[in-house]
Amino acid sequence: MEYRRLGSTGMYVSEISYGNWITHGSQVETESAIKCVREALNQGITTFDTADVYANTKAEVVLAKALKGVRRESYELFTKVYWPTGPGKNDRGLSRKHIMESCHASLKRLNTDHIDLYQLHRFDFETPLEESLGALDDLVRQGKVMYVGFSEWTAEQIARGLKIQDQRGYNRFVSSQPQYSALWRVIEAEVVPLSQREGIGQIVWSPMAQGVLTGKYLPGKKAPAGSRATDKKSGAAMISRWMKDDVLEAVQLLKPIAESVDLSMSQMALAWVLQNPNISSAIMGATKPAQIKDNVKASGVKLPPEVMKAIDGAIGKVAERDPKKNVSPNPRP
């Protein structure tokens, strides 16, 4: 495993990080989740990403159980706030009330006294940005949060936030958590250039396009039983955008390219993401320890220019690049 600095900070993160969005507390039983986390640690992964909303707050609890007994200083713990965590009108969004209450609840569930990176899970159109950023800054000054970031913000929203932080002397954003893969490139035109200028690193999710880039989904055939595409509780709606024959046919063209560099398609998908110098870490999920052992081999891989060109030639026409696709709900759920 190799490590990179998170943006312009002095904190290092593992190139491959472990996320538990649709696994812990829902798709994977606690015992299996613990085995996956322990294997991640064995493979050198030190960065763990979760959120209060995952599995209706259960994912944080399971992650805490899995990390019990591990020296706290030896790993980086990331979580998020925004999506509903209860039935009330204030159980969501980025108001000062919800940010503070959600942070305290996450600290309890995660069984820790601090969160290494606290992220605004989406942009909140209903709360003054100054209010949200002031609450984040207070959490940093209280020692409950080390660094702050956001997920799925547009370049314009990022710029607005940084301006307020600079004007008020608040702690600045150091990270962005967008969806990014060889099929989903919407951050490249605007978010990445701005982030590079401002010292913000990308911690990307779905680097394998919800599993499509593994090549297991074949054009003209039904999705394998038990796969994400068949499970309505684990992202079937999101993966549906790629379940089209033209996309699946293009993805199959990647197989000989991966073989030419002695990588699995999963490894090549992760390695492709990590070629972008603005990427600090790529988040992977797992339901079995074997998946982790396989995927971490992507760390440190340098894909030759001709391979990067071949990948773009294979799937470039079906890749999504429109920066307008990077959106947050308005109004919030």
Identity at 141, one-letter amino acid code: R
- CB neighbours (10 Å) of residue 324? 8
Question: Alpha-carbon distance 142 to 67, whole Å?
Answer: 24
Question: Alpha-carbon distance 211 to 266, whole Å?
Answer: 8
Segment holding 35, helix H or strand E: helix 30-42
Contact 269, 208 (CB under 8 A): yes
Angle at 63 between CA 140 and CA 153, to 5 degrees: 50
Q: Which two tokens stand for residue 156?
A: 């314009």
Q: Which residues of 226-252 are buried (b: 16+ CB within 10 A; e: fewer)?
A: ebbbebeebbbeebeebeeeebbebbb
Question: Alpha-carbon distance 51 to 43, whole Å?
Answer: 23
Give the chain's largest Cα–Cα span: 56
H helix runs in 169-280, sequence order? 191-198, 236-239, 245-252, 254-260, 265-274
End-to-end C-alpha distance for the chain, whole angstroms: 38
Residue from 54, 75, 180, 217 carrying the catalytic annotation: 54
Active site residue 217: no
Beta bridge partners, 150, equal 120, 176
Residues tagged active-site: 54
